[in-house]
Amino acid sequence: MKNVFYLLMISFLTSCAAIHNVPTSQIPNNFIQPNITSSFVDQNGNFYPDNWLKKFGKPSKNANRREYSLMKIATENNFQNNLISYEKIRLKNISNRVKNKKRIIIFVHGIDNDYMFSLKNYNKAKTYMNINSSKDEVFNFYWDGLVNQSFFGAAKVWVGATTNSQMAGVFGLRRILNTIQNKEVYLISHSRGASVVLSALVNPSLRESEIKRVQNAHHVDFSNAESLKENGNKIYCIMLAPAIGKIDFTTDSNQLKNFTPQLKRMHITINQSDYVLGKGNTGILSENFIATDFGYKESLFNELSENYSFLEKTDYTGQETHDFRAYITNPKFIEILKQFKLAK
């Protein structure tokens, strides 16, 4: 009976109001001079084309995982080749854009962040950074982490955005990384943005039901995802409040995943005062209901460090909020930037 109760509660909570995070601009994937690249993908990692609203329309006000995506609408209206062609051109343009740059800095937000909220935080983070407009390219990466519209909508955002983060990593961020060669790449994420980053670097372990849903409802074949290319990059990750767990580092056969040798460092924050990562003040649920304990428990960091020499940490315990702005305005963020020679 208890399990039935939990299933009913989850069903109720995930039916509550949340909306898709969609662009406010009709040219969401663009270049902003002198050195900003804006990249916006949908729930499956497809890039929004110019004038997207005219062909794809607005999603419903109550986000449904099966209803709205670029590839779904394009395929079912027989213009999927236009979308595929646009993406190829866009990725080629990105490759040309970064060709002569030395450093690539990519910001990745978490769940329940819309475009403007994320942009303000990206801009705030940049005020602490030593960015050279001719040598560095900064990517503002946006994905469909959903946006909460009610008190109970938070549960729907969390459950729905979990798979979205993985698809955005595999089909969105990874394809961007594959356009970059022989660069220093810095991936700076917050919260569930860590899942986007991790999924870009190595395939996530998706449930079979999710793989089938994505293929049947959205015409996206997970098995056709391109692998991360060995492009001679040096990849550095800074994960603020990473809302992921051990499961994100393990294969379907319960073995730890192997990462590209391009990954040099993964620096995370650990915060035992973050009630979101702890799913409450006690933290006993941090390993459950989609694990978030990587940014919460030092014990998991220590366990994974035995196998991954690239792991590093900064303790944020004492900061009681999960808010992106709080993590980047904390003086410890500047100390992290200094370790990567990114600070002013």
pLDDT in tens, 260-309: 999 999 999 999 999 999 987 665 656 666 889 999 999 999 999 999 99
Mean pLDDT computed over every residue of the chain: 92
Summarize the confidence of residues 151-171 as an average pLDDT: 82
Whether the pLDDT of residue 168 is over 50: the answer is: yes
Residue showing tokens 């950074």? 129
Q: What are the φ/ψ torsions at residue 226 (nearest 5 degrees)? A: -75, 145
Lowest mean pLDDT among 10-24, 102-116, 153-167: 10-24
Q: Looking at the structure, give the CATH architecture of the domain made up of residues 2-339.
A: 3-Layer(aba) Sandwich (3.40)
pLDDT tens-digit readout, 294-305: 999 999 999 999
Q: Which residue has the higher pLDDT, 208 or 234?
A: 234
Structure confidence at residue 257 (pLDDT): 97
Q: How far is CA 320 from CA 71, 244, 300, in A?
A: 40, 18, 20
- DSSP-derived pairing of the beta strands 30-32 and 36-40: antiparallel
Structure confidence at residue 151 (pLDDT): 58
pTM for this model (two decimals)? 0.93
CA 31 to chain centre: 20
Whether residue 186 contacts residue 240, with contact meaning beta carbons closer than 8 Å, is answered with no
Nearest-angstrom CA–CA distance, 324 and 31 = 25
Whether residue 154 contacts residue 146, with contact meaning beta carbons closer than 8 Å, is answered with no
Structure confidence at residue 8 (pLDDT): 37
Tokens at 294, concatenated: 């990587």
Q: How far is CA 196 from CA 53, 100, 188, 265, 341, in A?
A: 25, 26, 11, 17, 24
End-to-end CA distance of the chain: 58
Nearest-angstrom CA–CA distance, 275 and 191 = 12
Lowest mean pLDDT among 3-12, 231-240, 291-300: 3-12
In the DSSP assignment, the letter for residue 192 is: T
Rounded to the nearest 10°, the torsion over CA 17, 22, 24, 27 is -170
Nearest-angstrom CA–CA distance, 185 and 174 = 12
Whether the pLDDT of residue 61 is over 90: the answer is: no
pLDDT tens-digit readout, 80-121: 999 999 999 999 999 999 999 999 999 999 999 999 999 999
Residue showing tokens 């399990």? 3
State the Rg of the chain over Cα: 19
Whether residue 44 contacts residue 71, with contact meaning beta carbons closer than 8 Å, is answered with yes
Whether the pLDDT of residue 193 is over 80: the answer is: yes
Structure confidence at residue 279 (pLDDT): 83
Structure confidence at residue 252 (pLDDT): 87
Element (H or E) spanning 19, and its range?
strand 18-19
pLDDT tens-digit readout, 114-154: 999 999 999 999 999 999 999 999 999 999 999 987 656 56
Whether the pLDDT of residue 11 is over 50: the answer is: no
Summarize the confidence of residues 182-192 as an average pLDDT: 98
Whether the pLDDT of residue 46 is over 70: the answer is: yes
- Contacting residues for 204 by C-beta, under 8 A, at least 6 apart: 166, 169, 170, 195, 198, 248
Whether residue 162 contacts residue 195, with contact meaning beta carbons closer than 8 Å, is answered with yes
Summarize the confidence of residues 150-177 as an average pLDDT: 85
Q: Which residue has the higher pLDDT, 66 or 232?
A: 232
